[in-house]
Amino acid sequence: MLPLSIKDDEYKPAKFNLLAKISGWFKSILSDTTSRNLFFFLCLNLSFAFVELSYGIWSNSLGLISDSFHMFFDCTALLAGLAASVISRWRSNDSFSYGYVRAEVLAGFVNGLFLIFTAFFIFSEGVERALEPPHVNHDRLLPVSVAGLLVNLVGIFVFQHGGHGHSHGHGHSHSLFNGSTGHGHSHGGHGHESKHGDGHNGHSHGDGHGHSHGGHGHSHDDPHCHGETTPGVFLHIVADTLGSVGVIISAILMQKYDLMIADPICSMCISILIGVSVVPLLRESIGILMQRTPPSLDNALPECYQRVQQLQGVYNLQEPHFWTLCTDVYIGTLKLLIAPDADGKWILSQTHNIFTQAGIRQLYVQIEVAAM
């Protein structure tokens, strides 16, 4: 038997494959605007963090080092988002019959978690410092926070349009997030440092997670999701910017008016803001992960059920389950009990039509015929 295809993958040396894979990832990242932006922003943040780390080690400033750790932490969030964008474009296979599109939702969730933890840490540090105000060293404070602010502004400018290059279809989820970014917040970098007696902060925690990905143009059967997590990136960056601003303000207050209490108060306010603004993001991603019925369909579904039950021959609609795979991709299953003399084919196609109109394209209808 002649082989119909020759798989010479196994004969390639492993190293070569790795390079090919990595270059494949790069291509994938650079192909899409948002992920490209995210990638460059990540690089910017990473380099800033490295600079801070090396400067801190060289000048033996524990505060700078701890701050660079914080930046690295944020870079991981950005990295997670980037990874999610690459991963969600992978083709589906036997282990993941729906493909990898959930990666974005996961990245959004993990990012939300990180933000909550960060807010919590900053709050606790603020409280600590309020109780025992340490001496804050101002020297390096201002320049670093200004630099951080600049980096954040770059981020805002870049991600300003939410990066929804192509995602126009799902106005709702975006507007929810963009609306809530109004009051952004940032985990003010002043998180730690001062604690170690070295002031310095304001680093941009760029972050972000996930971002809208390609979506269209595929010819295979994977569902396309549109920019589920770009709002999250924007949120994060605005948060950071405001944090930097807050730090600068408190630094000025401390220098001019010697108001030491400004720092911890700033931290606490900022952490509360972070917490509050992350809540919608978390709610949405948790809802998706819990297989919740899509909130946008909350009104449409009962109507659909009614219409289906009014079809001729349908006795009962049982066990409807509808859930979101990723933004705007809804999947549903249900069981219909029909009369023995009803036209199953017609009922099936009508049901599909009804639900397609509601936006559910993947539907599984199990039709059972009632006994006489």
Partner 1 sequence: MFRNDSEKTQLVTEKGTMYSITMESVSTDGIMQKEKDSNIKHCHDNSQATEDREREKQLARKRLYVVSAVCLVFMIGEILGGYFAGSLAVMTDAAHLLVDFASFIISLVSLWLSSRPATRTLSYGWHRAEILGALLSVVTIWLVTGVLVYLAVQRLISDNYEIEGTIMLITSGCAVLANIIMAFTLHQSGHGHSHGGLSSGHGHSHSTNDKSKHGHSHKSSHSHSNGNQENHSHGNGDVEQHNGVDGQQQKSAGSRPQANASVRAAFVHVVGDLLQSISVLVSAIIIFFKPEYKIADPICTFLFSMFVLGTTITIMRDILLVLMEGTPAGVKHGEVRDRLLAVKGVKSVHSLHIWALTMNQTVLSAHVAIDDIVDAQPVLREMTQTCFSNYNFHSVTLQLEQQADQKPGCSLCEDPKM
Binding site for partner 1 (CB under 8 A): 57, 60, 62, 65-66, 69, 73, 91-100, 102-103, 106, 110, 113, 117, 219-221, 286, 289-293, 295, 298, 319-323, 325, 333-335, 344-345, 348, 362-371
Compare residues 254 and 278 and give the one whose CB is closer to partner 1.
Answer: 278
Compare residues 165 and 332 and give the one whose CB is closer to partner 1.
Answer: 332
Residue 331 pairs in a beta bridge with 323, 362
Q: Cβ 367 to partner 1, closest distance in Å?
A: 7
Compare residues 136 and 301 and give the one whose CB is closer to partner 1.
Answer: 301
Compare residues 56 and 155 and give the one whose CB is closer to partner 1.
Answer: 56
Cα 33 to Cα 27: distance, rounded to the nearest angstrom:
12
Compare residues 40 and 72 and give the one whose CB is closer to partner 1.
Answer: 72
Q: Cβ 321 to partner 1, closest distance in Å?
A: 5
Compare residues 97 and 310 and give the one whose CB is closer to partner 1.
Answer: 97
Compare residues 154 and 313 and give the one whose CB is closer to partner 1.
Answer: 313
Q: Closest Cα to residue 342, out of 317, 364, 368? A: 368
Name every residue whose Cβ is closer than 8 Å to that of residue 225 and which is 6 or more positions away in sequence.
88, 101, 104, 212, 213, 215, 325, 326, 327, 328, 329
Q: Cβ 364 to partner 1, closest distance in Å?
A: 4
Q: Cβ 290 to partner 1, closest distance in Å?
A: 4
Compare residues 183 and 321 and give the one whose CB is closer to partner 1.
Answer: 321
Q: Cβ 161 to partner 1, closest distance in Å?
A: 29
Q: Which tokens hold the place of 156?
A: 């805002």
Q: Cβ 327 to partner 1, closest distance in Å?
A: 15
Q: Cβ 253 to partner 1, closest distance in Å?
A: 29
Q: Cβ 256 to partner 1, closest distance in Å?
A: 32
